[in-house]
């Protein structure tokens, strides 16, 4: 049934810090730091400051794929806990003035890189990897990378927010964004009907960008029971592609990095060396009551 309570917007909007549901404590209508805090720096040229949300996983998957392919892409990955406001520290804001994860510092060039899509493109060009050299194929991969950057906010901030996180359920926004989420799944499913990977026969940064969002949706691991609600099982080509991409060893490692929830043996809260996957997962290093 439609909600009959009507809302009349005020002439001038003002911020209510108590509104906004689960993420109210970290949302505000202004930019800039809230406190002074320097960022840690490790031994490697690439310094990543992130959290294993879909946007964060994009980048750690890319870095792990680069290492698997033999590139000199060793990196330090530092946990940015957005629930605790780490993204508003002065050091993080200096790398990303938008206060969103992930953010990357390349000490070899002095470059700061923010926005997950920009980081993927930066790394692809730096290492000449996972982006086709042929102009037509390269353009197709970039088409889908930027499709993801424009589409994912409707899935996460639209559907995910109103379906899973909003303090109340409202029919109109859930219907509106469920329709858009299913339209997006259909776009991908149709593309994959005649394509092994998103942009063709080659695995690219487009796949790395899309899988943490739409692959996890297909697998039913985000937004409560959204996979059932959206009938993701009906998208057969997406099912095939999701399994193909998410079973890659580098993908499995990448989704563990900067993860601070779920199974403790799948949480590598910080990553500074390849051996950390065997020795530094949370089940092995978490503090005990006696420590």
Hey, where are the domains in the chain?
135-253
Tens digit of each residue's pLDDT (9 = 90 or more) over 98-109 = 999 999 999 999
pLDDT attached to residue 26 = 80
User: What's the pLDDT score for residue 17?
Assistant: 76
The pTM of this model reads 0.95
In CATH terms, the fold of domain 135-253 is Glutathione S-transferase Yfyf (Class Pi); Chain A, domain 2 (1.20.1050)
Which pLDDT value is given to residue 1?
44
| Residue 106 CA: distances (Å) to CA of 81, 119, 126, 137 | 21, 10, 10, 27
Low-confidence ranges of the chain (pLDDT < 50): 1
pLDDT for the residue numbered 27: 84
């Amino acid at each position: 049934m439609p909600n009959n309570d009507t809302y009349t917007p005020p002439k001038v909007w003002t911020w209510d810090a108590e509104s906004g549901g689960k993420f109210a404590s970290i949302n505000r209508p202004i930019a800039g730091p809230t406190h002074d805090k320097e960022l840690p720096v490790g031994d490697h040229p690439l310094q990543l400051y992130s959290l294993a949300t879909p946007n964060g996983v994009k980048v750690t998957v890319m870095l792990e794929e680069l290492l698997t392919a033999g590139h000199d892409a060793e990196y330090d990955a530092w946990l940015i806990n957005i629930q605790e406001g780490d993204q508003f520290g002065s050091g993080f804001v200096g790398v990303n003035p938008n206060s969103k994860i992930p953010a990357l510092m390349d000490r070899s060039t002095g470059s700061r890189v923010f926005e997950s899509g920009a980081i993927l493109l930066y790394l692809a060009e730096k290492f000449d990897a996972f982006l086709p050299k042929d102009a037509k194929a390269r353009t197709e991969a970039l088409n889908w990378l930027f499709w993801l950057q424009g589409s994912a906010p409707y899935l996460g901030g639209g559907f995910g927010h109103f379906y899973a996180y909003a303090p109340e359920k409202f029919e109109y926004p859930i219907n509106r964004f469920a329709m858009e989420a299913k339209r997006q799944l259909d776009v991908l499913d149709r593309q994959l009907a005649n394509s092994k990977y998103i942009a063709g026969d080659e695995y690219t940064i487009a796949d790395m960008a899309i899988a943490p969002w739409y692959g996890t949706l297909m697998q039913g691991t985000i937004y409560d029971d959204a996979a059932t609600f959206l009938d993701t099982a009906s998208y057969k080509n997406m099912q095939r592609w999701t399994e193909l991409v998410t079973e890659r060893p580098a993908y499995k490692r990448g989704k563990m990095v900067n993860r601070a929830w779920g199974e403790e043996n799948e949480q590598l809260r910080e990553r500074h060396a390849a051996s950390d996957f065997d020795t530094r997962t949370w089940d092995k290093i978490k503090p005990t009551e006696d420590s």
